A = this chain, B = another copy of it.
Amino acid sequence: MECKLFCTKKSMSVSEIVCLGKTMSNSFDRWTGGGSNGVELARQFCSCRGVSLKASYSTTRKSKSSMEWIGQNKFAVESNSTNWIIGTNGVISSSSLGECYLLDATEDNYEGIIVDPERLPSNPNTFASRLQSSLASWISKGKKGIWLKLPVERSELVPIAVKEGFQYHHAEREYIMMTYWIPQEPSMLPANATHQVGVGGFVINDNNEVLVVQEKHCTPACAGLWKLPTGFILESEEIFTGVVREVKEETGIDTEFVEVVAFRHALRVAFEKSDLLFICMLRPLSTQIKVDDLEIKDAKWMPLTEFLKQPHIRGDRMFKKIIDICIARLGKRYCGLSSHRVTSKFDGKSSTLYYNVVEPEDNCPGS
């Protein structure tokens, strides 16, 4: 009887699985395993729930050093008298109990393990003992990175995993991702996200009026300032759609993306993370302003000359430069980066490449 018959086929969504180490990976070929989804799942590990396995003992990949390295943790495999049997199908079992004591998990393509967050034992003590057994098994098999995603409803398991040596990797509202790097070499697990991405929209109409807003929640330094609409893009949103959305939300104006004309990189903006702000030239498609009451105090079309006269703009080198660039672009004396859909064979992924198109029809410098 094959253990896999009793396993859940459910696994983490492929987009939540990370494949390559941080610095060793590159954005081109990181996700190459499984076509458009980018990740191929390999064989599954599972808890067999009372199924007695016909298993053979194997120590092929069990190295003493890897066990010693984890010396501070008391694995079940070491701390009790049960004879642990590692089955041919990758399932660890106990010969004395005839039961599987492993967490449900899937292998990834990088010799790593992804624990199934939807099949965690309901009892914390069971989780603790299965985590220990599973770690012992994964170490014996020469596995590398372990991914343990704990939903917020199972927060009582967090200290248990910490006790076993797991580290925090990242968290979102609904879960915390914890990791365990088994090899003695430095961890090759990819890092957490490091940046927030903002967008600012320069929208100018045929009357040479700029679309500007006054923010409701404004610090004294920007009190009374009429500024370009800005905001953050979502974690899986294009820059060219994010900026159109933000302008629409704040002012009610429909626009069309033209180009990224510049971007600003500011370090250590929040929680040591950094901030990229893309200044985008947009073409207005409507005229009627409708202010977002939650964020925006007021919005209007402001003559460009009046906009530039504001002390905040005139007196600030950065603001001034950005506006200069936008005006140069308007006067076709500047060429920004336009967006182009590209698909790479390496990951089958469609992504957006922003570059400067210097061709006659673009009315850019050099044309």
Contacts and interface: CB of A to CB of B under 8 A. Distances in A.
Interface of A: 15-16, 18-33, 38, 109-110, 152, 155-156, 158-159, 162, 167-177, 185-186, 188, 190-198, 200, 215-222, 225, 227, 230-239, 246, 249, 261-277, 294-295, 312, 315-319, 321-322, 325, 333-337, 340, 342-347, 349, 351-356, 358, 364-366
B271 A16 contact: yes
Contact of A216 (B24, B231, B340): B24
Given A155-B158, A273-B235, A215 B263 contact: no
B192 A195 contact: no
A158 B233 CA distance: 29
A159 B157 CA distance: 8
B239 A265 contact: yes
B334 A356 contact: yes
A230 B230 CA distance: 30
A291 to B, nearest CB: 13
A24 B231 CA distance: 7
A221 B345 contact: yes
A215 B27 CA distance: 13
Contacts of A261: 355-356
Contacts of A32: 219-222
Contacts of A277: 26-28
A56 B358 CA distance: 71
A192 B271 CA distance: 9
A247 B96 CA distance: 54
A249 B220 CA distance: 44
Nearest to A329: B356
A216 B318 CA distance: 42
18 contacts: A15-B271, A26-B277, A158-B158, A188-B217, A190-B270, A193-B271, A235-B273, A236-B267, A262-B356, A263-B354, A264-B353, A265-B354, A266-B352, A318-B342, A321-B340, A335-B356, A335-B365, A358-B365
B170 A271 contact: yes
Nearest to A179: B173
A268 to B, nearest CB: 5
A162 B153 CA distance: 8
B270 A222 contact: no
A356 B336 contact: yes
B27 A275 contact: yes
For A167, A185, A262, A265, which residue has the most chain B Cβ atoms within 10 angstroms? A265
Nearest to A333: B358
A280 to B, nearest CB: 13
A25 B275 CA distance: 12
A201 to B, nearest CB: 11
Contacts of A321: 340, 342, 353, 355
A37 to B, nearest CB: 10
A196 B194 contact: yes
A237 B186 CA distance: 21
Contact of A177 (B21, B109, B271, B354): B271
Contacts of A355: 261-262, 321, 325
Contact of A18 (B216, B270, B315, B349): B270
A33 B345 contact: no
Given A23-B246, A269-B30, A335-B356, A196 B195 contact: yes
Contacts of A276: 195, 197, 276
